[in-house]
Amino acid sequence: MAIQNRTTLLQQITDRLADNNAGDISAADVRENMENIVESMLSIVSKELDTSLPFEKDIQIGSSSTPTTATLTLASGVYFNDATFQSTAYPGPGQINHNDLAGLGDLTADPHPKYLPSDGTRPFTGNLPMQGWINESGVNNAGFNFNYNDGNEIVGVGSNTTIKFNTDNSIVDTAKGVAKAWLNFSASGVSNSVTVHSAYNIAAIKRWKAIPTDPASEGKFTVEFKPGTFDDAKFVAVAVSNGRDDDDQASDFSINTVGMVERGGDGTLLNPHYLSFFVLSAEAVGGTGSPGYVDAPINELVVYGLGSGVVSDDLSGIDQTISP
C-alpha cells in the first residue's frame, strides 16, 4: 500500500484490472488498488486540486449539530473573487488601530478634515448642504430644516418649536407680531418731491388724488406696499407726524392727526395693497387761520399684518362682549 498521485492510480487500475474475462485479475489486484486509493485520497485532495478541478460545493468543517473543535488552518492566505489576497486574520473592529488603516495620508495632519469631532475641537468651515430636520427629538416637522427653491434658501421652523434667548429667557414662536413694513419720509410742498429716508417693503409713496385729473394736495399721500407683503388689506397701521409746514427746530411739532382710513388693493404688482396717509393739522395752516392738511418734514409709518399665505390666529376665541 502506497500513496500515489492521481495519474499513477489511474494507470495502475488500467494495468491490473484489464478488460477481459480470462480470470487474470486476482483479489490482490483489486485490494491493492483500493488500498492505494484510500491511502492517496487526502494527498490528492490536498495537493492536486487546481483551478481546473475546483470544489464546486460549500465546504463545512465540523458538525453544525454537534459542536467540535474542528478548525480551518491556512498556512498562506485566501484569495477572494475580486482578486484580492488576505494573509492576516481580521482582528475585529475593536482591535484595529485607526492609524494602521490605509489611505490616511499624512498622519501628523488631520486625516478627516470633513468630519466634525463631537467634542467641538474643530469648527466646520465651508458649505454644508443639509436636507431634512435638525432637532433633538429625532422626529419630522420639529426643529429646523433647509429648503432651496428657485434660487432662494428657506430656513423652516417646525411645529412646536420655540426660539428661546438665554440672555433674558424671552421666546419667539411666530413672526406674525413683527412689523411687515415701515416708512420714514419728508414732504415740503406739492411742487417738491417726497423724500424717503428709510423704508421696508414699500413700493411707492404718491400724492393722493381723488381722481387722476385732480390737482395734488399737501398732506395727503398714498403708500403702496410690495407684492406679497400682506395677505389682505386688513392690516394695522401706526403713524406719527410733526405736522409742521416749516423747519423751525428739530424738536418743534404741531398738534395733528394722521388719518389712515382708506385701504385696498389685492397685493399684486398691478394692483398693490395700499394705505392712505393724511396729515391734518389742528392749528392754523399757511396763514389761513384755520386747520388744514399739511406737508411735514417728519412722517413715520409702521404697519403690522398677516404676510402672504400666513395663517391667522383663531379669532373665535377672542372675547367680544358688547358691554361690561
Q: How big is the CA angle at 101 (ends 96 and 106), to the nearest 5 degrees?
A: 135
Residue with cell 465540523: 62
Predicted local confidence at residue 247, as pLDDT: 57
pLDDT of residue 173: 86
pLDDT of res. 183: 97
What is the rounded distance in angstroms from the CA atom of residue 112 to the CA atom of residue 126?
15
pLDDT at residue number 21: 67
On whether the CB atoms of residues 286 and 217 are closer than 8 A, the answer is no
Residue 153 CA to residue 148 CA, distance in Å, equals 5
Whole-number Cα distances in Å, 126 to 123, 139, 156? 10, 27, 21
How far CA 146 is from CA of 139, 173, 185, in Å, comes to 15, 18, 37
3-state secondary structure of 12: helix
Integer-rounded Cα radius of gyration of the chain: 46
Please tell me what DSSP assigns to residue 316: G
What pLDDT does residue 271 have? 95
> Domain extents for the chain?
6-47, 105-173, 181-304
Q: Grid coordinates in use for 201?
A: 417693503
Q: Which three cell numbers stand for residue 223?
A: 403708500
Residues 235, 305: Cα–Cα separation, whole Å:
4
pLDDT digit of tens for each residue in the chain (324 aa)? 678 777 887 777 777 777 666 667 777 777 777 777 777 777 777 777 777 778 788 888 887 777 777 888 888 888 888 989 988 888 888 888 887 888 877 777 777 777 777 787 877 777 888 888 899 988 888 999 988 888 888 888 988 889 999 999 999 888 888 999 999 999 988 878 899 999 999 999 999 888 888 888 889 999 999 999 999 999 999 999 988 766 566 677 888 899 999 999 999 999 999 999 999 988 766 656 678 898 898 999 999 999 988 888 888 888 878 776
Query: Please, what is the end-to-end C-alpha distance for the chain in angstroms?
Result: 121
User: What pLDDT score does 20 carry?
Assistant: 63
Which residues 6+ apart lie within 8 Å of 142 measured at CB? Answer: 133, 135, 158, 159, 160, 161
CA distances from 62 to 59, 68, 116, 129 (A): 10, 6, 47, 52
Cell 434658501 belongs to 153
CB 232 within 8 A of CB 274: no
Predicted TM-score (pTM) of the model is 0.61
Spatial neighbors of 282 by CB under 8 A, at least 6 apart, are 243, 254, 255, 256, 257, 291
**Predicted local confidence at residue 277, as pLDDT:** 96
Identity at 296, one-letter amino acid code:
A
